[in-house]
């Protein structure tokens, strides 16, 4: 992939996207919780996969992610969403920026 030069306007847009990513992910997780209550079959499996990826980006501890996903219980995912909103969820430390 070739190195790409972005204009300052594009750089600001990209920066704002990543600055707001945690809030977007938290909202997506809440929506996934609703969808999981209603879904079944392959669609439900895909929602769980997306929930796993989203919780990983939100730095939820891996043992908690595995417990929620393997339980296949949207109520447990709702608890994670509630803890995220309240700020009581113990997250993994932020990776160092290079």
- Say if 6 falls within a structural domain: no
- Say if 14 falls within a structural domain: no
Q: Are the C-beta atoms of residues 81 and 55 closer than 8 Å to each other? A: no
Whole-angstrom distance, CA of residue 54 vs CA of residue 31 = 12
How many domains does the chain divide into? 1
- Total residue count of the chain as it appears in this document: 98
Q: Which domain holds residue 54?
A: 24-86
pLDDT tens for each residue of the chain, 98 residues long: 456 899 999 999 999 999 999 899 999 999 999 999 999 999 999 999 999 999 999 999 999 999 999 999 999 999 999 999 998 888 888 877 76
Nearest residue to 71 via CA among 90, 51, 91, 54: 51
- Say if 95 falls within a structural domain: no
Nearest residue to 44 via CA among 32, 31, 28, 26: 32
- Give the predicted TM-score (pTM) of the model: 0.83
């Amino acid at each position: 992939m070739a190195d790409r030069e972005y204009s300052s306007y594009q750089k600001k847009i990209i920066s704002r996207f990543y600055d707001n990513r945690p809030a977007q992910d938290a909202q997506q997780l809440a929506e996934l919780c609703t969808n999981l209550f209603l879904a079944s079959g392959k669609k439900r499996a895909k929602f769980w996969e997306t929930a796993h990826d989203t919780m990983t980006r939100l730095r939820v501890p891996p043992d908690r992610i595995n417990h929620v996903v393997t339980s296949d219980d949207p109520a447990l995912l709702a608890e994670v969403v509630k803890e995220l909103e309240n700020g009581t969820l113990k997250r993994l430390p932020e990776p160092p920026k290079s």
